[in-house]
Amino acid sequence: MASDGWEEYRRRRDFRRTPEPEPGGSGPAGVFVVQKHAARRLHYDFRLSLDGVLKSWAVPKEPSDDPRVRRLAVPTEDHPLEYAGFEGIIPEGGYGAGRVEIWDRGTYDLESGSPDKLVFRLHGERLSGRFALVRTRVGWLLFKTRRQ
């Protein structure tokens, strides 16, 4: 069977039990979503549609619209574009078990991108303006830039 790049995502989920979307369909491009995820520990999943997938980071604290606040952002596996609209309860015993709700969503414009830095303009319901994801020695940081 040919690889479609979704082996890790599928391996972690039992689609007979979870309401999460299975990869294979299509979804919106140029969107971002922040999902509040009450799993073992409450966190926020920050996702950008990029290269046909949702690139994803787990952010332990609520994302901030204040340029003085930096948030740790831990990369997670890519998710299918369909996940941008997902809200629901992942059943106990499943990977990421707990409630997922959309905290913010909208569109974004990518200004620049490299393996260590993404700069983008968010047009969301809660978050708007110019943001960056930057890899540092200790991990990734998500923050609103001072220059708008």
Strand, helix or coil for residue 94: coil
Domain count, the chain: 1
Identify whether 1 is part of a domain: no
Is residue 19 included in any domain, yes or no? no
Domain-located, residue 2: no
* Residue 62: half-sphere exposure toward Cβ, Cα within 13 Å: 8
Q: Model-level pTM?
A: 0.85
Residue 5 lies in a domain: no
Please give the helix or strand (H or E) that residue 10 lies within, else none.
helix 7-11
Range of the domain at 52: 27-144
In a domain, 101, yes or no: yes
Instruction: Tell whether 114 is covered by a domain.
Output: yes
Alpha-carbon distance of 110 to 121, in angstroms, equals 7
Pairwise CA distance, residues 87 & 91, whole Å: 13
Report how far residue 111's alpha carbon sits from residue 108's, in angstroms, rounded to the nearest whole number: 9
CA distances from 81 to 20, 70, 85, 122 (A): 12, 26, 9, 17
pLDDT by residue for the chain (148 residues), tens digit each? 345 667 777 777 777 787 777 767 666 668 999 999 999 999 999 999 998 899 999 999 999 999 999 999 999 999 999 899 999 999 999 889 999 999 999 999 999 999 999 999 999 999 999 999 999 998 999 999 998 7
